[in-house]
Chains A and B, each alone.
With several copies, the nearest count.
Chain A
Amino acid sequence: MPDRIDYNILVRMLHAAVQQVRDNHQNLSRLDSFGGDGDHGTTMLRAMELLSKTIDSSPKQLPQLLHDIGWAIMGVDGGAAGPLFGTFFMSMSEAAAGKDSLDIPTLATVFDSALAGVQKRTKAQVGDKTMIDALVPAVRALRDAPDLATALQNAAAAAQSGADSTKNFKARFGRAKNAGDKSIGSPDPGATSVALIFRGFYQGFHSHG
């Protein structure tokens, strides 16, 4: 396994994340239909297709790619998810400024920045049944891993269990907060998207032969 994520590896990771959302977007919309407005899968699919297109159109340079992806996703016009996931990638780019590859401490810093960026946009805390519930543990899991593969594997697992944990919560942010108890029993769609993306990151990294 490589000990740095360079442009090419990042692209593989991103493509794998795109594929995860492609495969699961219907489930994401279904989850959003319990408390929200049922469009999260559509929005995420559009965001990921834009991501994929941006890889083709953007200069082949790591921070620039992350920036362009973030900006493209911001423009998805799909409600809360666009600005939040857009901010995620744009904040990654800020922390990756000047770097053409990421070693493990840099990767942790980059994801810390992504989390901080998202948190600047929302007052949602862990437990409020949002993407924050998957993002916080995923980013935390990245910090103390011995190598990149373990870091990304742990992050994916933490994101997944963070997403799973939202099943029992009552939504306190986003559209779903107005739905009362309707969302209890199913995981938050945004948190589920975060888990899919981190799973993709790990798979994309791992498949690197």
Chain B
Amino acid sequence: MKKFLNKPVNLVAELLEGFVLANADKLKLAGTNLVVRTNPKSKNKVALVTLGGSGHEPALSGFVGYGMLDISVPGEIFAAPGPPRVIEALRLANRPAGVLFVVLNHAGDVMTANIVMEMAKKEGLNVKQILTHEDISTGPRDNPDERRGLVGALPVIKVAGAAAEQRRSLDDCLAIATRMEANSATLAVAVSGATHPCTGEPIATFADDEMVVGMGQHGEAGTGSQKLASADKTAEIMLPMLLDDLKIKPGEQVLALLNGVGSTTLMELYLVLRRINQLLAEKKISLARSLVGQFLTVQEMGGFQMFIARMDPELLRLWDAPCNTPALTK
């Protein structure tokens, strides 16, 4: 893929400069390239902090703003930031109301998070951590360590962020985030690869008519290599796996989120959502809410992540609550 780039070593710093410029009403940089709100949240409210590699724009810094995150610590391309900048973020966010620290389950992120949580404890910071790991393709539900954190971080941040704006306690925010997380499941499908913007190396390769169900954010191989299917058929393959994992029963309400990872169009995602709605109706499951967009991308990779969550009235209320971030505004 041909990309408009400058020097690779400056890539993240430069993209952050443009990113905060494009969203100057919501965001600015603070400290060592930490993305923070232009208008900080009241110190009486729980703060939300996350970390993660760059190259997945608009994620994760695109979720900073009213109703969602307070600080995002962007790493290098596809690489977690190291502990120094993350502890800097936690110190900056620290407050009596407390800090909820959202970590997506990827080895590097978790390693950094563990180091930082030990430091935070030693320093007496008021921080609690929530780990998101809803990728059903990498491990069974009872082995959550193996499950990666994909786009499911978005709803977790959304509901916990809404709870924080409503001055709920840190324990409440954590409980809400945990409930959202526990009722979430994601499955990815990929049809074409991407190139690493620094090395120019291909991320994953595909046969001409191949699609891979379960492929990860960085081209980690999935188990489900199969022939490229129609939008309807793809929904028919993937949705039951998610419903099964969550053991969703007739009469329950779900949120469906379709996250395009790059060159798969919104057009295609709308077709998939349409079929999801039909399949859910057949099973008497209610599609209570849906969201379609490109939130957590993998450069120009083709494919998408299908996310389903069991919702309860409180989670729905928090999902609907106002937010104002570059990637999601309600």
Contacts and interface: CB of A to CB of B under 8 A. Distances in A.
Interface string A158-195: 00000000000000011100111000000000000000
A73 B79 CA distance: 14
Contact of B107 (A74, A78, A175): A175
Interface string B74-101: 0110111111110000000000000000
B198 interface: yes
B83 A75 contact: yes
Contacts, number: 78
Nearest to A179: B221
Interface of A: 29, 33, 37-39, 42-43, 71, 73-80, 82-84, 86-87, 121-122, 173-175, 178-180
Given A75-B83, A75-B84, A178-B221, 15 more contacts: A37-B196, A38-B196, A42-B198, A73-B82, A75-B82, A77-B75, A78-B76, A78-B79, A78-B82, A80-B80, A83-B108, A83-B112, A87-B115, A179-B220, A179-B221
B143 interface: no
B5 interface: no
A29 B198 CA distance: 12
Interface of B: 53, 75-76, 78-85, 107-108, 111-112, 114-115, 138, 196, 198-199, 201, 203, 216, 218, 220-221
A74 B79 contact: no
A39 B81 CA distance: 14
Contacts of B196: 37-39
Contacts of A33: 201
Given A173-B107, A178-B216, A179-B220, A83 B79 contact: no
A76 B79 CA distance: 10
A39 B199 contact: yes
Contact of A43 (B79, B84, B111): B79
A26 B241 CA distance: 41
Residue among A29, A83, A180 with the highest chain B CB neighbour number at 10 A: A83
A84 B115 CA distance: 10
Nearest to B118: A120
Given A38-B199, A39-B198, A77-B79, A180 B84 contact: no
